[in-house]
Amino acid sequence: MIRARRGFVTAVRRLPSGVLEADVACEEKTSVAICYPELTGAVEPGDSVILNTTAIELRLGTGGYHFVIWVEGREYFGEVHAPGHTMKARYTPFQVRCLAAEEEGSPYHEALREFTSIRGVPVVACELHSMLAPVVAGIKEVAGDKVRVAYVMTDGGALPLSFSRLVSDLRDRALIDTIITCGHAFGGNFEAINLYSALCVAKACADADVIVVSMGPGQAGTGTKYGFSGIEQGQAINAAHSLGGTAIMVPRISFSDHRRRHLGVSHHTMTVLEKVVLTRCIIVLPEISSDRWNLLKAQLNTENLAEHHVIVTETGLPALKRLQSDGIDVTTMGRTVQEDLEFFLAPGAAGVFAGKLALKMKGCV
């Protein structure tokens, strides 16, 4: 059930991603609300707005904002004559009209109609949005402009791409070359119907040398074996294999998370490998202290996972140095790189590995 309240806009800030952040007077206090101009049109101080206040009233950490639903007195939502014939967030009051790369009205339709293989392109599958930055930093730090990086944003987290400040920073610093939003996610350089077609778009339309798959900001977890949104990581690995790509998994690793189920290799990673992944993939472990590395290897040896997959070790430090030099701050569950070093070294190492592999495939080394 949506909880809605009326508010009055007192101040507006445009973020680099294009999202508007508004101060709104609501229920006798001032709160922050997110406005997507492409959905509701822009807001200005003095506007009376209807807000979705559900997340704040539930005291959620993820998605803890009000969202503008409607600007009172306005006749239309957003852009009236948007292109395309594909709906995302279908059959909801906020379904969004998009031009999917695959649809017949798209200039890419013919290129995708018979497309079947991404021809060995490395596909780095992440569980969390916070893994994206070190992955792409690692790729670009070792490969530079010699490789093109495509980010496929799934609909496991936020649906509007513009909600992610991190992606805006990564794009501004040329760590990401192209963005494909798939499923019900929207707002990328290309729109795709599903994950499989998004991988095809990344190669056929964006000429990607490396593809990184990750949900947008936000996730759902329940402490149960299968009840977490990051389980889609295994589906990304399966899709990469089905389309002829080289599947690379970023393991979720932490020695700072207080929850025992996430100590070392997270139970999320173990579930994905044991129950979701249907093919052989490459698991990249970061170079860390020998005692901690041995714990990770021991965890992966359960259920004969080490026999079913290729486990490699790579340094993740170049990725973290690149993020620091580019001034990109990233956190996971509120923890910084310094507070949860191994978590960030793992995707950094996967990015470095994928970047080196892409260079080799292009004959650059």
pLDDT in tens, 191-216: 999 999 999 999 999 999 999 999 99
The confidence score (pLDDT) of residue 58 equals 76
Question: If we measure between CA atoms, which residue out of 269, 196, 193, 282 comes closest to residue 234?
Answer: 269
Query: Which ranges of the chain have pLDDT less than 50?
Result: none
Distance from C-alpha of 127 to C-alpha of 357, rounded to nearest angstrom: 21
Q: Measured between alpha carbons, how far is residue 144 from residues 66, 206, 292, 319 in Å?
A: 39, 17, 31, 12
Read off the pTM: 0.95
Amino acid identity of residue 30, one-letter, is T
Q: Is the dihedral of CA 150, 156, 162, 163 positive or negative?
A: negative
The confidence score (pLDDT) of residue 74 equals 81
Q: How confident is the model over 6-31, as pLDDT tens digits?
A: 999 999 999 999 999 999 999 888 88
The confidence score (pLDDT) of residue 54 equals 86
The confidence score (pLDDT) of residue 62 equals 54
Question: Running DSSP on this structure, what letter comes out for residue 221?
Answer: B
Instruction: Name all domains of the chain by residue range, CATH numbers in brackets.
Output: 4-71 (2.40.50.140), 109-361 (3.40.50)
Query: pLDDT > 90: what percent of the chain?
Result: 79
The confidence score (pLDDT) of residue 75 equals 73
Are 317 and 345 within 8 A, CB to CB?
yes
**Which residues have C-beta within 8 Å of that of residue 83, sequence separation ≥ 6?**
97, 99, 105
Are 131 and 215 within 8 A, CB to CB?
no
Q: Which residue has the tokens 């964006």?
A: 206
